[in-house]
Amino acid sequence: MAQRTHRFFISTLVACVCSAHASQAPPFELREATITDVHRAFDSGELTCRELTSKYLERIQAYDAAGPTLNSIEIVNPAALQEAEALDLQFSRSGLRGPLHCIPVLLKDQVETRDMPTTYGSVVFENFLTSRDATIVSRMRAAGALILAKTTMGEFASRYVGSGVGVIRNAYDPTRNPSGSSGGTGAGIAANFGMVGIGEDTGGSIRGPAAVHSLVGLRPTVPLVSRHGMMPANPSSDTLGPMTRTVTDAAILLHVLAGYDANDPLTAYAVNHVPESYSTPLTRDGLQGARIGIIRAPMDPNTDTTSADYQKVRAVIDRAFRDLQDLGAILIDPVSFAHLDTIEDTYSGNIYETEEATDSYLAEHADPPVTTLREIVLSGDVTPWRAKGLMGLIGRTTSDAGYLKILTARERLRQSVLTTMADHNLDALVYATFDHQTTIITSDVLTNPDTQDQYALGNNRYLSPVIGFPALTVPAGFTSDNLPIGLEFLGRPFTEATLLQFGYAYEQGTHRRQPPTTTPVLP
């Protein structure tokens, strides 16, 4: 299985790391370092790319392969140290290759890499090599990035378990789930196993793991970032985006990812919508005069507003709203819009795109282990909960009458949100990413098709994918029992720069992120 591959690569690379210790530069504090910190250390001669890469590999070995066993890393790049040395050589000759020079990236294993397997979290695709890079991988590498590892993910982009990876765990409390399906990236970036991460968000899989890991997670407007080289789920709402520890790092990474790609024609809509920089607008006074509408009504029909758990989250979110006001925002509290109660059913009701999209994707490859979604389900290898969900997608197409109902419901909700924003002259909406804390992992999540783990209870993430608008989750702080809570901003299409501006001002004005105590600085 891929996990065994991960262990072998780690053991080999750590042996190389140990042999290089004698020549390392003066100590560099890795935990919570940013892109700017690293490039400054390169310029001063305090740090090399090989040393940086080695330090992350040591943390992965200490805390993912062993330690609290977060199970966030699927496959480590076996050539990581060699690539780091090549980047060091380039830096010595001509300086930084680009804005991501030697920035170690944790990449969700839903995204193809030419030099590492792509498994989609499933034993069905164990050690599957596609021999191509996804567009975003090519762009990151051209900007100097080092793809350090592929991260574990919920099987075929759902939840936090898979037949190929087992159970992914939350970095702040390994007994709890890490949200999904980009849970491995969330846990890995929170634990400082890499500098920046890539998640995929169909219904919330970037923002969920970010919220429960005190991270910044951006779901872009769907046409902004190419999906070429990524296994689809629902193409009308699938997107890829940054998962980072700071807003600035998210802005730097987004600028590398964004823009037109002929291999993903939908990105043609992004032409003339990519600014010269997503970082330039980031200022500490970025919330001054911003008109922000607060959504207080739960979007998950299962939210229990009378529970103690809900009250713990609400205390954090209410403080965040006060902070926004103190930082200069003009709050319209609360705002409401028609059809809010249809969000859950509109998202969950889209069962029509997946089979066609998956079969078309698999047809792009010369020798996949299976060629259709039906074969995946009938393999008998997929975890029971995921197999049950996928079975309900078989035989559905976008020609079905039910799909027209979904499209109509989406447009009705989109118009309602835009009208509310226009009526109140709003720049963004804001709400809790989840109204409940992330839940305890039950013992039967790998075996029971009807496991009752209350996964994603209090989920407010569906609004963004249903209407196709961008959303940014930032750390709002911690509950009284020390679990991270996320605050989510939502804006009109292609307003990522504005959302990042608001998120940065909030981040700098509050400094709510704290790293997990489960993965401290190594001795």
| Residue 113 phi, psi (nearest 5) | -135, 140
Q: Is 182 a known active-site residue?
A: no
Task: Identify the CA nearest to 180 among candidates 378, 389, 480, 412.
Answer: 389
Task: Identify the CA nearest to 489 among candidates 504, 477, 478.
Answer: 504
Q: Is 339 exposed, middle or buried (0-12, 13-18, 19+ CB in 10 A)?
A: middle
Q: Tell me the C-alpha distance between 233 and 239, whole Å.
A: 10
**Tokens describing residue 356:** 């066609």
Q: Which of 54, 55, 72, 108 is catalytic?
A: 108
Q: Tell me the C-alpha distance between 291 and 287, whole Å.
A: 9
Q: Which of 72, 122, 158, 205 is catalytic?
A: 205
Q: How far from 223 is each of 124, 182, 230, 362, CA to CA, in Å? A: 30, 20, 14, 22
Task: Identify the CA nearest to 190 among candidates 522, 491, 505, 475.
Answer: 475
**Tokens describing residue 431:** 């709400």
Q: Which of 158, 181, 182, 236 is catalytic?
A: 181
Handedness of CA 154, 160, 165, 168 (dihedral sign): positive
Handedness of CA 27, 29, 34, 40 (dihedral sign): negative
Q: Is 181 a known active-site residue?
A: yes
What one-letter code names the amino acid at 302?
N
Q: Is 205 a known active-site residue?
A: yes
| Residue 4 phi, psi (nearest 5) | -65, -40
Say if residues 433 and 298 touch (Cβ distance below 8 Å).
no
SS3 letters for 128-162?
Answer: CCCCCCCHHHHHHHHCCCEEEEEECCCCCCCCCEE
Q: Tell me the C-alpha distance between 150 and 159, whole Å.
A: 17
| Residue 217 phi, psi (nearest 5) | -135, 125
Say if residues 151 and 73 touch (Cβ distance below 8 Å).
yes
DSSP per-residue string spanning 337-388: -TTGGGHHHHHHT--SSHHHHHHHHHTTSSS-S-SSHHHHHHTS-S-HHHHH
Residues annotated as part of the active site: 108, 181, 205
